[in-house]
Each structure stands twice: as structure tokens, then as C-alpha cells.
Amino acid sequence: MRAISIEPLSAEHRREDFDCGEDPLNRYIRQYASQHQKKNIGRVYVAVEPGEKRVIGYYTLANGSVAFENVPKSKGLPREYPIPVVMLARLAIDRTMQGQGVGAVLLFDALKRSAEASRVIAAYAVIVDALNDRAKEFYLHYQFEEGLADPMRLFLPMQDILSLLDQI
């Protein structure tokens, strides 16, 4: 795989031609990502090739919470309160770069940042709402588990992420 660098989205990045094959994810990076950053409702990280500014992939992180009833392996968690999580709100790779390991690199980067954030502000898991079955298969490949109430809402407990990162 070619070397990539992962950077917080800034005005320098070129994203007008980004195309991952999914319109909502294309629209998001082209039109809404900067606004969300400014309003502090999403942090967007982009992948670029070294020395380039063309976005070849991106993901977004935000804080969130989920109902106890949706959490798999919830033994020992309080039923009375929402469970804090990190939301991996979007992850997308440009069509020209799919199938070359960029998605895996971005996913691990997102998990690493989530783990770092969770040392300061607790998060029980990283969760993702899969856009479709193909996206769901990608996350299942990385040991995410289905939520109990919504099969498209997938969980990876922070405990598992921390031990995974310890092994790298």
C-alpha cells in the first residue's frame, strides 16, 4: 500500500471530487464537514498521499450515548443511564483507492484516537451505524458486534480496543 498521512480536515484539503460511491458520504465531505467542525459537532480526519492535498478518505468522530437496551454484553452496566460512547459517524474511501488497505488504516486511526479520548472522557465503546450490508460486513470483519435493538448499529467495546492497541 502507498504511504498515506492522516490529518485533521482544514481549508487546504481538496475534496470537491471525492467519490466513494455513496452520495450521502460524498455530500458530507464536500459540503458539510467544515461546518460540523466549526460547530463542534464532528471532528473530521482526512487521508492524503504525502505532499498532496486531495482527500482520498475520511472519517468523523463525535461523542454520543446509547440506551442500555441496545448494548450487547451489557452485564454490569447501569440500566438507569444512557451509556457513553464514541460515534464513528462516517468512514469513506475514494473509489480510486478502495481495496488497498486505506479503510483499515483509517479505522485503526479512528480507534486509536477514540481510545486516547476515552482516557479523559469515558466511553464504553466505539459505535457505528452501518449505511448498508456491505459496510456492515466491513465492520464485522473487524470484530464489531451487532446492537440488540438495531442490527445496523455496531459496537466495539473500548476494553477490546485498548487490548488490541496494546498488541500493536
Catalytic residues: 139
**Shortest Å, Cβ 166 to ligand COA:** 20
Number of residue whose CB is nearest ligand COA = 103
105: cell is: 488504516
Residues in the chain: 168
**Shortest Å, Cβ 70 to ligand COA:** 17
**Rounded Cα gap, residues 20 and 93, in angstroms:** 5
Q: What is the DSSP letter of 17?
A: T
When the beta carbons of 121 and 168 are compared against ligand COA, the nearer one is 168
Footprint on this chain of ligand COA (rule: CB under 6 A)? 20-22, 25, 91-93, 98-104, 128, 130-131, 134-135, 137-138, 141
**Shortest Å, Cβ 94 to ligand COA:** 8
- Amino acid at site 90: R
**Rounded Cα gap, residues 34 and 28, in angstroms:** 9
